[in-house]
Structure 1
Amino acid sequence: MHLCGFLIAGPVVHSHAIWRNPAHETPFLSLAHYARIAQLLEQGCFDFLFFADRLAIADRYADSHVAGIRHGDQDSTRMDPLPILGAMAAVTRHIGLGGTRSTTYDAPYNIAREFATLDHISGGRAAWNVVTSMNDGEALNYGSVPHLGHDERYDRADEFMELAFKLWDSWDEDALILDRAAGLYADPDKVHYVKHEGRWFQSRGPLNIPRSPQGRPVIVQAGSSGRGKRFAARWSDIIFALQPNIERMKVFKTDVDAALVDAGRPGGSKVLMAVMPFIGTTRAEANELLALHDSLADPVAGLSTLAAHANMDFSGLPMDATVNEIAASGSQGNIAALRSITPDGSMTIAEAGGVYARGVMCPRLVGTAEDVADELIAIIDSGAADGFVVSPAFLPDTFESFVGAVVPILQARGYLRSNYAGGMLRDMVKGGAQ
């Protein structure tokens, strides 16, 4: 079973209640907060953690930032994850470290340098969560109006990846000589210009950083539309999916496996499903924690995040209109999954705001540590996933409970490694329990 910790460098993650935790403050602007989380997840033998990111506040709902900023939606604050990951590398030894960067609002050379650097300083633990960005707010921040269409963003992303891979490969593995006595730093015959001339990008190269321990970072992708799945099948090592129930998980996994075969990479990517655990010493205690959490998740914040994901202002629709009336030019996969929760299409916009605020459709696993472990194992045994992206309800509380109570059960049953066997993140991703 592969495990990943899901984070956003801000006040909420999928749960919009995180910053309102009545037990203690959540110091989401503090480096110590994230360093502690990284060490905790490493204690639990997680494969890696990663930060989701977007490049704008949410202001699609009512064409205003008021709701999101007032109530603290998913985009109300997002610090840049790469500097945080660098600091995490200094306080951990094994856990993989992933950050999000957009292929629509960045340059391949920048991305290649950032992740080669992270891979070097972490000793081969870097992962890149590749996104194409989803809405007009990001476009307006970068002066790229209008926002590129859905499929065109993926066309651009394909070339972006081609060039990034060329840049990472521009230094041969043995290019560095470092002969101090002879004064030979590197072999110039093993450092190559890339001379890329494409539709979207031009770059001479080479990269000005030697080849990193992994050669390139582990590639994470979360495309869930048809075009997104084809992109993920071509490039990714890990596919992150958010599906509301095990039936949808199975359908998604089947689709991805077929796309991997079509891409000539059967079994080439692991599928990790998002889950949000609520763990108690009894089931009653877990249900009390769930009820407390849900009472703190403001549906207005959920509507603001939903509008950002859909890239649509639906505030003019009545609250009893159904989600079928939300037309998505942003995250098509998320909207499709939202509609699937009620197959008859009866979910209202008001109800969707609550669903989004409570966890953006993350399946909630509620019960004792044994109950949660049983559910995770059942999903794995059904073939619906290769592992999980654990999304916290509160921080660091959820991770503390999961690592302290669920992880030992998974280890005892042979579903999770008991220690790190060494090597790099790519080795963990390819392997399993050890």
Structure 2
Amino acid sequence: MEQEKRKMILSAMMFFPAGEQISSWRHPKAEAEGLLNFDYYKRIVQTAERGKFDLFFYADELYVWDDFESSVKYANSIRPEPFTLLSALSVVTNHIGLGATISTTYNEPYHIARKLATLDHLSGGRTAWNIVTSRTDEEAQNFGKEKHLLHERRYERAKEFIDVTEGLWDSWEDDALLFDKESGHFANNNKLHYLQHKGPEFSVRGPLNVARPPQGYPVLIQAGASEAGKELAAATAEVVFAPKGTLEEGMHLYQDIKGRMARYGRSDQHLKILPGIMPVIGRTKEEAEEKLAAIDNLIPWQLGLDLLSHEIGEDLSVYPLDEPLPFLPDIESANKSKSKLLAVRKLMEKENVTLRQLCKRFNSRGIAGTPEQIADQLEERFVNKAADGFNIAFPYLPGALDDFVDLVVPELQRRGLFKTEYSGKTLRENLGLERPRNRFTTTHVNGEK
């Protein structure tokens, strides 16, 4: 009976504005010229809403990747600023959630709390925040630093950052604003609370000058799969964007993260795990595989090699292409994405691949199949508790999203795995997440100091 009640959560992911692959802009059906055109994003998000997606997720970075000549020459480095974009999209949508990547390393809590609270009000409670710590020295150098903060400190800062923003969102109790014209009382001053936070990273007096968001807090998303990332997710996140991996790896990660939540007094029902998947759809399996091969071939060889070098942190062009690398990535001392490095290391250890093979595998992220076969794979992971839903990426936009909405969504609905209508007004309601209580109201009710 429990399985019959569960419905998949679907997030439509935009990593690069033209699609998931770094060279998606080259696809014949990609509309690369629209990357700074609002109508382009409007069409994409309205299509996702037509397909009953729960969330449109816009990934963001704070730098231009220019480590290599190929990275500027061949890669898409242009992307609009997320708050501006999502605010505009909130006006042309009614149900779909709107989420974006926002760094806790290169922002201040008051700014982000205020912007997200405003967006949640303007969208009627449809905002989500993908909490990241950033990962490159290039970003650090855009914010007055030479080097990126060390991995552990980034996560310590992130945890404090989240605590401060939540405290600021609780500044006003839900019924604090009176708007009583006769008495002249705009607000009940007894229901305004000062945070007075002083910690290792931040000192914030408060209160926020935006009323408490409709959702209480925007939905909190986390994407790290390192130990520090999993602990942060268990403590604070409500959605986790997880790596795809095998079915067994997905089941293990699902149980691992949810199994940590009790230590923080949280139910595992209050966290939804969404692995990232990029489906490539064809009328037959063979046609889909041909499409995937063509998509993979969009990446110029030098760009693909340099992208792998960027992730590993060493120029790999000095090594023979048809031999295995003479070293394994050092996960412990790495100051970038540990989850990506771990995936590379596992592949090297498991299959002893050559550098050429490693590069091709690293840059190929799609699953190919007919609509029924794609639905089979999603169903298998969902039923076996490797996922509560999926963060769907698209090899090119907007056409690949159209295909998924028109071909795969109806198949999932036919199987009873995905909703046919939105069930709530806010993103929290649609995801089955509770609205958090105001910490100050809770303290008052419980008589705690």
Whole-angstrom CA distance in 2 between matches of 1:179 and 1:53:
42
Whole-angstrom CA distance in 2 between matches of 1:323 and 1:381:
40
Aligned to 1:387: 389
Aligned to 1:336: 342
Whole-angstrom CA distance in 1 between matches of 2:307 and 2:135:
12
Indicate if the aligned counterparts of 2:319 and 2:325 stay in contact, CA closer than 8 A.
no
The TM-score with structure 2 as length reference comes to 0.89
Aligned to 1:53: 60
Aligned to 1:6: 13
Aligned to 1:16: 22
The TM-score with structure 1 as length reference comes to 0.92
Aligned to 1:68: 71
Indicate if the aligned counterparts of 2:15 and 2:393 stay in contact, CA closer than 8 A.
no
Whole-angstrom CA distance in 2 between matches of 1:80 and 1:304:
26
Match of residue 400, structure 2, among 393, 398, 401: 398
What is the CA deviation profile of residues 46-71 of structure 1, one whole-angstrom value per residue up to 9, with x for unaligned ones? 11011111111224xxxx34221111
Unpaired runs of 5+ in structure 1?
none
Worse-superposed segment, 374-383 or 348-357 = 348-357
Aligned to 2:171: 170
Cα distance change on mapping 1:35 and 1:323 into 2, 3 Å: farther
What is the CA deviation profile of residues 278-333 of structure 1, one whole-angstrom value per residue up to 9, with x for unaligned ones? 11122232122112212212343333433444455545444444385333320111
SS of match in other structure, 1:271: strand
Aligned to 2:423: 421
1:283 aligns with 2:289: no
Q: How many residues align?
A: 420
Alignment of 1:222-261 (within 5 A): 222-261=223-262
Indicate if the aligned counterparts of 1:323 and 1:348 stay in contact, CA closer than 8 A.
no
1:32 aligns with 2:34: no
Aligned to 1:180: 181
Cα distance change on mapping 1:303 and 1:176 into 2, 3 Å: farther
Alignment of 1:346-385 (within 5 A): 346-359=352-365, 364-385=366-387
SS of match in other structure, 1:99: strand
Indicate if the aligned counterparts of 2:348 and 2:358 stay in contact, CA closer than 8 A.
no
Cα distance change on mapping 1:114 and 1:3 into 2, 3 Å: same
Whole-angstrom CA distance in 2 between matches of 1:146 and 1:106:
16
Whole-angstrom CA distance in 2 between matches of 1:192 and 1:17:
49
Whole-angstrom CA distance in 1 between matches of 2:38 and 2:144:
31
Aligned to 1:292: 294
SS of match in other structure, 1:154: helix
Indicate if the aligned counterparts of 1:323 and 1:339 stay in contact, CA closer than 8 A.
no
Match of residue 42, structure 1, among 49, 62, 65: 49
Aligned to 1:105: 106
Structure 1 residue 202 displacement after superposition: 0.5
Q: Which runs of 4+ in 1 moved over 6 A?
A: none
Structure 1 residue 421 displacement after superposition: 1.9
SS of match in other structure, 2:364: helix
| Superposed CA RMSD | 1.9
Structure 1 residue 11 displacement after superposition: 4.2
Aligned identity (percent) is 39
Whole-angstrom CA distance in 2 between matches of 1:126 and 1:323:
46
Worse-superposed segment, 180-189 or 313-322 = 313-322
Q: Quick one: which amino acid aligns to residue 429 of structure 2?
A: D
What is the CA deviation profile of residues 375-401 of structure 1, one whole-angstrom value per residue up to 9, with x for unaligned ones? 110111111111100010111111111
Unpaired runs of 5+ in structure 2?
1-7, 434-449
Structure 1 residue 43 displacement after superposition: 0.7
Q: Quick one: which amino acid aligns to residue 208 of structure 2?
A: L
Structure 1 residue 25 displacement after superposition: 3.0
Q: Quick one: which amino acid aligns to residue 369 of structure 2?
A: G
Cα distance change on mapping 1:24 and 1:197 into 2, 3 Å: closer
Cα distance change on mapping 1:18 and 1:358 into 2, 3 Å: same
Match of residue 329, structure 2, among 322, 326, 330: 326
